[in-house]
Amino acid sequence: MPKLSRPLRLGTRGSPLALAQARLAAEALRAVHGWGEQDIEIVPITTTGDVVQDRPLAEIGGKALWTKELDRALADGVTDASVHSMKDVETVRPPEFVIAAYLPRAATGDRLIGAGSLDELQDGATVGTSSPRRKAQLLARRPDLNVVPIRGNVQSRIAKVGEEVDATLLAAAGLERLGLGHVGAPLDDFLPAPAQGAIGIEARADDAETRALLRPVNDDRAFVTVEAERRFLLAIGGNCHSAVAAAASSHSSAMFMRAEILSPDGSEVHSADEELHGEDFLSPGDLARQLLSRASPALRAMFAA
């Protein structure tokens, strides 16, 4: 059992979901190292993304709004590691940080809150989401829907259903981690955001001691699938304005990945899948090239690859 001279400090956003995810990381570390409650300190940090709630992230700086304050605390030694919801983490991270461990991955899909299925929504129903992917996927299936931006934590978005919007979409993993796994209807045909359902623990690259403490909680299957999805996102050049989805599943010596890109209004959708082997696990560039080659010039321009 490693002896600590002081508690290991885990930085996290202060939302109920982020705190729940930090507690999962802390519980995993305590279990593997035999530590007590006093050996880990959870350090809530307010991020710009939590403060600015009236505009979509794409309009005010994208995913970095969830990470820059956590990065500053980690770089300054205020914290020893950061706990991230990986779908909200930029594809290219500063070189001074490294994801040292992934917890076992939860459900990757979305759930519809406010109706039992998309077909149950009335014509012209208002659905709230600030995700370009979810908006495009909704409109691809139901072009009559009125999709409007909606922000806030999980509980506040659920509270807006029936008041401000007829329905919304939320990640199944987040609902489960908050004890709300029974809420909503699964959208099994919606391909998720890359890295959805994954919790990563990040440390300073030069902090070998902390990285060694985090390594035993790493889940190998989560590592290979999430890294493959993030490398696909890097290869295709998606950003916070791009409607892009990907899901990888790992089985023994092979990995299967499905991906799609969509125009903002859902009128153009391109899907592809690929089986990856060996060293190709982390190099899904061919899949990205397939999708971009099929896309119209207007859709291709939404990506920076």
Active site residues: 88
Helix 285-294, helix 220-236: angle, nearest 10: 40
Residue 107 CB partners (closer than 8 Å, separation 6+)? 172, 173, 176, 197
Phi-psi label, residue 205: left if phi above 0, alpha if psi -120 to 50, beta otherwise: alpha
Q: Which of 245, 96, 237 is nearest to 169 (CA)?
A: 245
- Please tell me the distance from the alpha carbon of residue 53 to that of residue 32, in angstroms, as a whole number: 37
Which three-class secondary structure string do you get for the chain? Answer: CCCCCCCEEEEEECCHHHHHHHHHHHHHHHHHHCCCHHHEEEEEECCHHHHCCCCCHHHHCCCHHHHHHHHHHHHCCCCCEEEEEHHHCCCCCCCCEEEEEECCCCCCCEEEECCCCHHHCCCCCEEECCCHHHHHHHHHHCCCCEEECCCCCHHHHHHHECCCECEEEEEHHHHHHCCCCCCCEECCCCCCCCCCCCEEEEEECCCHHHHHHHHHHCCHHHHHHHHHHHHHHHHHCCCCCCEEEEEEEEECCEEEEEEEEECCCCCCEEEEEEEEEHHHHHCCHHHHHHHHHHCCHHHHCCCCC
